[in-house]
Amino acid sequence: MEADVDDTRLLGVFESSLAPFATDPAAEAIGAIDNPIGSPPLEELARGKRRAVVILSDHTRPVPSRILVPPMLERLRRGNPGIDITLLVATGCHRPTTRAELVEKLGEEIVANERIAMHVCTDDSAMVDAGFLPSGGRLRLNRLALEADLLVSEGFIEPHFFAGYSGGRKSILPGIAARETVLANHCAEFISSPFARTGILEGNPIHRDMVFAADQARLAFVANAVLAPGKRVVRVFAGAHRAAHEAGCAFLARHCGVDVPEADIAVTSNGGHPLDQNVYQAVKGMTAAEAATRDGGVIVICAACGDGHGGESFHRMLAEAQSPQELLARIASVPKDRTQPDQWEAQILARILSRRRVIVVTRDCDHALLRSMGLEAASSLVEALGMADASAGARSKIAVIPDGVSVVVRRRAG
């Protein structure tokens, strides 16, 4: 999407420095899997094991599963030709992934020939107790994963708006956790923590729970990609879940931090398909613009949101609120063990709306639905900037962050 902005108003276009890195994605994946960080190779891990579970990302994540999963399966069977393998789709609390979406992610051959199971967070019969989280919440995880002799996962690492970074331990919590476990981890107290922010792991209570859950599940091996804008594979980090994830996060921290002067208007996106398919997911990109703008500023986010709001309870909380401030106060009073589904996303969006205007640029989502949630809507970027200027002023300063979910915004003076 394009719009003309006067040079005197433009503070800059802020992107990660990952783009210059060039790799052969398949070669990068194979090299990382064959030279794991802090772990024996997959072939060695597979020896003597009867059942292996490979955790897959779901349809909301742009994980390059086509290049990660085939070599993982091949190495497992190379080490143990008779090993029984199940692919478990980590939906978290999302809807089940469709067969068509699985084919798009994995290719027809894998979908047709491998055993694939779908995690359903509300299916109590599919869950097993695994103790209690450091936060005190009950840890219940998918039975297939806990009863496997070997548990591995694929995924990707990017800045995450409350877990610090995605990837690694997130394939377990929330990926294959029971709803009650996800709710405990995503409680109002943790979401409001100043450490539950993009790019922060140290002191982050949500991250701490997630690492504990991965340890309890005996997650033995991960293969996580780092993607540049355009969803191009830059690097793959594979090996022990803690060591490989930490290495990937350190790499990202060096290349995705951007120093942005305080802006009146910030223009961003949710990185395009598949992450911009609904409003629920688009909140992630909004947080980058939130960090770049002054109180009272305007966020313009380009996100198709073709699937609508993305969560009925999420939509209802925003639509029924008297104001963002009222909703924040109400959520803050909810005890940890009474967290509601999608409460965290409503909490973060309410936080943003309490201090910013948000204009969503889309032709694929009902504008009336967006307005019912306290958002504004435009059909083009040009229209949205005109709306933003009406309140911020024709001389207001604009920061452009093309892919809001790919950066860690650091505010700088001037």
CA–CA distance, 76 with 369 (Å, rounded to integer): 47
C-alpha triplet 246, 248, 254: angle, nearest 5°:
105
Q: CB neighbours of 300 closer than 8 A, spacing ≥ 6?
A: 265, 266, 267, 268, 289, 359, 361, 378, 381, 384, 385, 388
**237 in Cβ contact with 252 (< 8 Å):** no
Peptide bond into 205 cis (omega under 30): no
DSSP per-residue string spanning 332-368: HTS-GGGPPTTHHHHHHHHHHHTT-EEEEE-SSS-HH
Question: Does the active-site annotation cover 241?
Answer: no
Residue type, 242: R
Cα separation, 248 vs 168, whole angstroms: 9
Token readout for 47 is: 């020896």
Task: State how far the Cα of 105 lies from the Cα of 94, in Å rounded to an integer.
Answer: 16
CA atoms within 13 A on the CB side of 28: 19
What is the DSSP annotation of 293-325? EEEEEEEEEE---TTTTS-HHHHHHHHH-S-HH
Whether 160 is catalytic is: yes
Catalytic residue among 94, 119, 245, 315: 94
Taking each helix axis as running N to C, give the angle between helix 65-79 and helix 99-106, from 0 to 180 degrees, rounded to the nearest 10: 80
Chain centroid, CA 170 distance in Å: 9
Q: Show the tokens assigned to 81.
A: 């030709």
3-state helix, strand, coil in the chain (%, to 5): 40, 25, 35
Active-site position among 119, 160, 186, 315: 160
Catalytic residues: 94, 160
